[in-house]
Amino acid sequence: VKNQTTYSNDPDIRWRIAEAALIMNAVGPQIRELARDIDAGVDRGRSWMPQLSAAKNAAAEATLRAVEQAMRACGGSAYYNTHELSRLYRDALAGLFQPSDQESLHAAWANLILGPIEKAQ
C-alpha cells in the first residue's frame, strides 16, 4: 500500500474500486429500461428474448470485470477458497456459461437481424 495507509486511501486501490463501480454502473440503464418495458407490457416482438439475453450477458461480463478489479485490489489472498471474493469470482465465471452463453446470444441476434440460416437445397 502506498504511503503506509489504509487501502481506502491508496490511490491505486481507489482507482480499481472506482473502475469496478463504473463497469457495473454501465449495465444498470439497460436493465432498468427492460424492466420498465416488461412492467408496461411493451411489445418488442421477436426482439424480447435476444434483448433480455443481451442484458444478462452484459451484466455477467460486467460482473466478471468488476470482481477482477476487486481481486486485484485485495491481492493474492483473495484466491484462497476461504476468501469470499474467490467464491464471487467463480460465480461470475459461471454466469458466462448459463443461459444464454455467447454462442446462443450471437446466434439469436444474427437470426433477429439477418433471419434464419437458409438450408441448402
Per-residue pLDDT of the chain (121 residues; tens, 9 = 90+): 566 778 888 899 999 999 999 999 999 999 999 999 999 999 999 999 999 999 999 999 999 999 999 999 988 888 888 899 999 999 999 998 887 788 999 999 999 999 999 887 7
> What's the pLDDT at 115?
93
DSSP-assigned states of every residue in 31-99: HHHHHHHHHHT---GGGHHHHHHHHHHHHHHHHHHHHHHHHHHH-GGGGSTTSHHHHHHHHHHHHTTSS
CATH superfamily of this structure's domain 2-113: Butyryl-CoA Dehydrogenase, subunit A, domain 3 (1.20.140.10)
Domain ranges of the chain: 2-113
> pTM for the complete prediction?
0.83
* Cβ count within 10 A of residue 60: 22
> What's the pLDDT at 119?
85
> What's the pLDDT at 69?
95
